Amino acid sequence: MMFLQLTTIAAVAVAQDQPPPSGFDTHGFHLVAHDSDLRDPLVVQRPGPFTQGDWFFSGLAEYAKAPLVRFTTDAAGEPGGAEALVDDLLALNLSTGIAIHDYARFDLTAPIFGLTTGLDPIPEGPAMGDLRLASMLVVLRPDPVSEGGGAGLALVGHLDIPSGTPERFLGQRDFAGGARLAFTYEASIFTVSADVGAQINPALEASNVQGRDRAVAGVGIGVLASDLVGFTLEGTTSPPLQASRFPDISDLPPIEAILSMRVRARTGPFWTLGVAGGITDAPGVAAARAFLGMGYGAREPLGPGDHDTLMALRTTDLCPTEPETRNGWKDDDGCPDRLGTLGIDVRFRGASREAEAVIVGPTGQRTEHIGLQGLTLDAVPGSQWTVRATSGCLAGEASATAADGGSALTVELAPVHDATVRIDVLGTDGLPLSTAQIVWISERPGCVPSIPQAVGSGGSLSHPITSGTHTLVVTAPQHNVYEAPISVLPGEETRVEVRLAASKIVVEREQIRILEKVQFETAKAVLRSDSYGLLDEIAATIITNPDLGRVEVGGHTDSRGSASYNQTLSEDRARAVRTYLLGKGVPPARLIAVGYGESLPIDTNKTPAGREHNRRVEFKLIDVEE
């Protein structure tokens, strides 16, 4: 806690005969130019980039705790108690100013006290403080932040007018004044300000208090959180220039720390919030302070239509009517510069493909899902980007430098194979079957060949593959379909021998003729398991022969039951077959389910054998040329 120490030299009874307190300003807080410039401290002078015609006004409410405390001694000279002559203080610090030139400004501050509490007979209620008229003459202006910032230097003088209430320790009884040398250095979002000088006070004595001249000094460090918010940490001190006539009064220099935040709107209003506290127990500093206020700052040289949030941050603003966009690209030119874009596309054999990607950019790496439409990112022009994409067993990597405006980065995927497989196909007679075709099915794209492959004249085929478990499908004319999962180990060759049995289907010009019936449960559209092998062969034939085009799955019934019932049953059975074939990998666009009911019989419905023939599923080739 910072205390103003008043020590009685005589006994307590003698102290009670002292004259009433008079002519000592216990406020101890002098607001400097308090405008909308986010870089300005509260009490440390800064030669900021004001221009002719700038003006401001503000009000800062303040609460101060125990700004004036007296320590007493008893008749034996032993330390007594502490008495708060001023315990609580509420004040409104009014401030206004105008720049009459780019290098000269006048400011006026006026504290108005709403309440003080303490020992009787100190009265309570509103009171006026001393007016302070200050002027700043700038010797050196810092460069605009957009051009690197730099140093600034100014001379500051002030005159304290005795308009206060000295009988309540709220003002001097005579004129006072002082001068300071103020310095600032600005770079990017950071500001360092400092001042040093002297305060000349009237020579007064009251209740063992002696008015003394003081050196004054302060330093402030500011940082801009954004174009609209700034923070400042300040430290001030005012050590006396003459020794005290009262040896029991501490000569420790008063040191106070202040932390404040200033928030400004786009058009000129601003708000201030802050706290302060004493560092040393010495005359002239309160135990604690809190601030809250608002004001308005007009910066005329930028034009009546200028509502740029950066006008308090620069002396050169290339876009005075538009706010800066802080995005890492040309953040100091005052313009809403837009980032470039980086369009990322992942392709495999010329076609866009979905993929998972690790994207490495100037701020680190992240994982993104890239869809068929690609992915577009904001990118600072000139920044380096690398994309590593994977899709199943496909992988690829590409790099690019973002350009001003927009640029593209395409990742070409390629299969990543780490094993080989050899397949030997034998016919019903045990001899190599050279007419066989191989089809692989895998849940992970790129792991296996994507198109059917014919075996050689020796009935064998060997090719690279990705390790894991994949489905092998082998077909040959007049033979059934072989389908089984095959496990492939990394770094090895896996050999598979396949024996094909006689086929259950015949591919003709207009249909896939089946040599067995598709079996359903009676009066239901539920496939029986003994038809799975037949349907597997049909599915493999359609998949391995894309030239067959679209296939119609036609359902037919006999005439028993109503026509509407038979129509519905035939449609349901056709859809059941189509659903099964889709599950085996046939593309949906190549299958059409149609129910014909009892409308197309191929035999009589008067005999059991005829009705058996009429209950059937047919597979017609739709795209056959006439």
Q: Is 326 helix (H, G, I), strand (E, B) or coil?
A: coil
Rounded to an integer, what distance in angstroms lies between the CA atom of residue 217 and that of residue 234?
11
Q: Measure the CA angle with vertex 192, ends 187 and 194; round to 5°.
A: 145
Rg of the chain over CA atoms, in angstroms? 46
For residue 195, with 0-12 CB atoms within 10 Å meaning exposed, 13-18 middle and 19 or more buried, which class applies? buried
Q: What is the pLDDT of residue 211?
A: 60
Largest CA distance in the chain: 139
Rounded to an integer, what distance in angstroms lies between the CA atom of residue 600 and that of residue 618?
12
Q: Can you say whether the dihedral through the CA atoms of 491, 392, 547, 510 is positive or negative?
A: positive
Please determine, looking at this structure, whether the domain spanning 340-414 carries the CATH number 3.40.630.30.
Answer: no
Q: What is the pLDDT of residue 226?
A: 84
Q: Which of 430, 227, 204 is nearest to 331 (CA)?
A: 227
Helix (H) or strand (E) holding 90: strand 79-101
Q: What is the pLDDT of residue 280?
A: 79
Q: What is the pLDDT of residue 19?
A: 38
Rounded to an integer, what distance in angstroms lies between the CA atom of residue 206 and that of residue 555?
116
CA distances from 298 to 35, 50, 269, 583 (A): 9, 10, 9, 73
Domain layout of the chain by residue ranges: 12-67+83-300, 340-414, 419-499, 505-621
Q: What is the pLDDT of residue 202?
A: 79
10-residue averages of pLDDT along the chain (626 residues):
32 35 68 84 89 89 81 59 72 93 92 77 76 94 67 94 83 89 91 94 59 87 89 92 58 86 88 91 79 83 39 49 56 63 89 91 88 86 89 90 84 90 92 91 84 89 91 87 90 93 88 93 93 91 90 95 94 96 95 95 94 95 80
Q: What is the pLDDT of residue 382?
A: 81
For residue 350, give the amino acid letter.
G
Architecture in CATH of 419-499: Sandwich (2.60)
Q: Which of 296, 333, 410, 412 is nearest to 37 (CA)?
A: 296
Q: What is the pLDDT of residue 207?
A: 47
Given a contact cutoff of 8 angstroms between Cβ atoms, the answer to whether 172 and 28 are in contact is: no
- What is the crossing angle of helices 532-544 and 563-583, to 10°? 60
SS (H, E, C) 27-79: CCCCCCCCCCCCCCCCCCCCCCCCCCCCEEEEEEEEEEEEEEEEEEECCCCCE
Name the CATH superfamily for 12-67+83-300.
monomeric porin ompg (2.40.160.40)
> Omega into 304 within 30° of 0, i.e. cis?
no
Identical fold between 340-414 and 419-499: yes
326 Cβ contact list (under 8 Å, min separation 6): 226, 227
Q: What is the pLDDT of residue 17?
A: 38
Rounded to an integer, what distance in angstroms lies between the CA atom of residue 603 and that of residue 515?
17
> C-alpha 375: how far from its chain's center?
18
For the 505-621 domain, the top CATH level (class) is: alpha beta
Q: What is the pLDDT of residue 337?
A: 63
For residue 414, give the amino acid letter.
A
